[in-house]
Structure 1
């Protein structure tokens, strides 16, 4: 048994498909199948049920997958410890980010990070919060950038910046020409929201409900761009994070209005596993992003 065999097994448990698991491991399907069979022969137990068209794990197989994930995480930590012997800002770094942050933050900070840390190899992965949390726990990601939520409390979190939320209304709306608006003005209004799984949905709903606003239950958007286009079409109003809005107060049929009393904001953080030997690496990255974004958001 070797580490690579465990990687094959875990990949198969994730994809439940031999070809897809093989592609994820960058090997041929026969190679992966043969190694799984070899692992079974070595252990003397059946890890899979081969009488079905689907990939089904036996109880022994599920237990081994669980243990293999823990072993692979420990191997990753050992690799991180070894990397500290050289330049701490060199080598690969797998960073996860949520869809309501990545498209708007990354263009602003990736050039900055590449310039500041040229030997750092950044690999970027987009997914929803619950997926990022799971991938961070299992060691597939080194750190994640997302809005601080309850699910991230088990990790170490470095604050990056506080991002205001802005009210987006159709250009023809009665509020369209207002530069600012109190949250209390939303009392009794109905707002368009993102669908389930987006942490921004829960955060925006929290502010809206506190102000007396309701959600439009007939529609749930899959992305911020869908929300923006629905507003432009005159189908409703919504809250958008400031980085997702243009500099112009009115653009492409949408008017963006600053909110106050109180101003709705979300805290964007960089989260990593407690005890990670790469803490200083994450702190340097967070400091660089924080310095840049605080200046940008105050401009």
Structure 2
């Protein structure tokens, strides 16, 4: 379809899926997105809700897609749909095509630098502390910047980064996998947290406090899957979780537990200002040098047109530095 002398984006797709069937295809991006939604939700009603169209409209697009391909991609069942063998192959290719299109759109959107729409992923042990200051700085820099933030664990965010659903991730190093470019933001040191009485008993007779001295049955950690939990075990030289481990879902929950006397935990410096304000019974103690720490970085896919990354990293680094200054005032 021609509009204003230019072809619509949905009509510019190379017939990547159709190549498998030996003929040219005139599939649209809309049809591919509708089909992926149908495959992932398992039903026409739920798929229509996801892509915000009527169920008959989505159903017709799937029929048109099948007619164009010359194969049936789903079996219509009384309670949903089931992918056919051809449908599974089409789904794999459709996802690849949509990921490439997302990548193309991202590159065009950010080619001018830090402008347009920015989709940023942040891990949960960083997001509530770094984002308020960072977003304030981003807004002050450009009020027109459309910022979308996703908070999730590292593994999920890296998958989103690989498939083009987000542009960059703020996470702790090191990160697995090739094809990533990382720009270090700050060194976030770990501090021992508990009640004043428990910390005094634990530190009694010790001149230099080191992470390896923390008893496994005293250490409370985040749920498995949080990289901070693995880092805490590593810096304390522990291979597993202690008997008192409650597997908290957030640093706020951990801080509340240890403030009430349920053991000890390690808190990153960027969380100290917020968590000591929220849990007045929380006491802190620094380790002897070299203090254990994690390196936070801005991570993106390597090899792209990333003129937007340096100014974003500078803003995030500035917001992080402010948190570190306040942490060292709370716990010198």
TM-score by length of 2: 0.79
1:1-299 equivalences in 2 (<5 Å): 1-51=27-77, 53-83=79-109, 87-151=112-176, 153-175=178-200, 181-187=209-215, 190-209=218-237, 215-216=242-243, 218-246=245-273, 251-277=279-305, 279-298=306-325
Q: Which has the higher strand share?
A: 1
TM-score by length of 1: 0.87
Unaligned residue ranges in structure 1 (runs of 5+): none
Please tell me the root mean square deviation across aligned C-alpha atoms, in Å: 2.8
Unaligned residue ranges in structure 2 (runs of 5+): 1-26, 327-332
In 2, Cα distance between equivalents of 1:58 and 1:248: 52
In 1, Cα distance between equivalents of 2:97 and 2:38: 16
In the TM superposition, residue 213 of structure 1 has moved relative to its aligned partner by 8.9
Greater shift in the superposed pair: 46-55 or 109-118? 46-55
Q: Is the 8 A contact 1:249 1:257 kept in 2?
A: no
Greater shift in the superposed pair: 143-152 or 15-24? 15-24
Q: Is the 8 A contact 1:169 1:175 kept in 2?
A: no
In 2, Cα distance between equivalents of 1:176 and 1:152: 43
In 2, Cα distance between equivalents of 1:235 and 1:139: 42
Q: Is the 8 A contact 1:94 1:143 kept in 2?
A: yes
In the TM superposition, residue 20 of structure 1 has moved relative to its aligned partner by 3.8
Q: Is the 8 A contact 1:170 1:176 kept in 2?
A: no
Q: Is the 8 A contact 1:184 1:261 kept in 2?
A: no
Q: Is the 8 A contact 1:18 1:32 kept in 2?
A: yes
In the TM superposition, residue 121 of structure 1 has moved relative to its aligned partner by 0.9
In 2, Cα distance between equivalents of 1:271 and 1:12: 32
**Structure 2 vs 1, CA of residues 181 and 117 (structure 1 numbering), >3 Å: closer, same or farther?**
farther
In 2, Cα distance between equivalents of 1:80 and 1:59: 32
Q: Is the 8 A contact 1:160 1:268 kept in 2?
A: yes
**Structure 2 vs 1, CA of residues 184 and 213 (structure 1 numbering), >3 Å: closer, same or farther?**
farther
SS in 2 for 1:125: strand
In 2, Cα distance between equivalents of 1:106 and 1:152: 26
In 1, Cα distance between equivalents of 2:125 and 2:275: 20
In the TM superposition, residue 285 of structure 1 has moved relative to its aligned partner by 0.3
In 1, Cα distance between equivalents of 2:50 and 2:139: 27
In 2, Cα distance between equivalents of 1:290 and 1:281: 14
SS in 1 for 2:247: strand
In 1, Cα distance between equivalents of 2:220 and 2:131: 26
In 2, Cα distance between equivalents of 1:177 and 1:283: 44
Greater shift in the superposed pair: 15-24 or 152-161? 15-24
State the structure with more CA Rg.
Answer: 2
In the TM superposition, residue 124 of structure 1 has moved relative to its aligned partner by 0.9
